[in-house]
């Protein structure tokens, strides 16, 4: 397990390094994630709060997630790549799986909001499936 692990945005203006081992990897099929991804779901690497050090400028906005908890979404203001979300309620930080320099050592373990998953995708065979967030 390559701890710390690093990643960054598409244009290279934002880089980050994470000093802690991920707690889990999730696929989220909620409506917000689908809209933001421009695709069927987002894959997020959950890490403890405070374990991600960012270099470069992030822009962010805070919304209420489908779960009712606040969520701050951070992205590169130049290329728009979603870097990470700060999840309130002690859940931690979700780093976008697709921004890791090397994500080959991680795979999704949980799927959230399978009730909202697009009917044309096949869910992973070995994940825990939750119809919503809880
Ligand atoms: Zn960028
Ligand atoms: Zn979601």
pLDDT at 93: 97
Q: How far apart are the CA of 91 and the centre of ligand 2, in A?
A: 14
pLDDT at 44 over 70: yes
- Across the range 7-24, mean pLDDT stands at 97
pLDDT at 134: 60
Give the residue from 121, 101, 104, 106 showing the smallest Cα distance to 37. 121
Residue ranges with CB less than 5 Å from ion ligand 2: 28, 30, 33
What domains can be seen in the chain, in order of their start residue? 5-129 (3.90.1590.10)
> Per-residue confidence at 1, pLDDT binned at 50, 70, 90?
confident
pLDDT tens-digit readout, 105-129 = 999 999 999 999 999 999 988 999 9
pLDDT tens-digit readout, 56-101 = 999 999 999 777 889 999 999 999 999 999 999 888 999 999 999 9
Query: In whole angstroms, what is the distance from residue 66 CA to residue 77 CA?
Result: 25
Q: How far apart are the CA of 12 and the centre of ligand 1, in A?
A: 5
Query: In whole angstroms, what is the distance from residue 30 CA to residue 120 CA?
Result: 15
Q: Are 24 and 69 in contact (CB under 8 A)?
A: no
């Amino acid at each position: 397990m390559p701890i710390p692990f690093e990643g960054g945005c598409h244009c290279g203006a934002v880089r980050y390094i994470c000093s802690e081992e991920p707690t889990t990897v999730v696929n989220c099929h909620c409506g917000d994630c689908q809209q933001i991804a421009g695709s069927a779901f987002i894959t997020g690497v959950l890490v403890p709060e405070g374990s991600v050090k960012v270099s470069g400028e992030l822009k962010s906005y805070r919304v209420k997630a489908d779960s009712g908890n606040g969520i701050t979404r951070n992205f590169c203001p130049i290329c728009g790549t979603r870097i990470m979300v700060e999840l309130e309620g002690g859940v931690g930080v979700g780093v976008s799986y697709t921004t890791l320099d090397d994500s080959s050592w991680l795979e999704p373990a949980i799927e959230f909001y399978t009730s909202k998953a697009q009917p044309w995708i096949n869910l992973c065979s070995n994940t825990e499936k939750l119809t919503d967030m809880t």
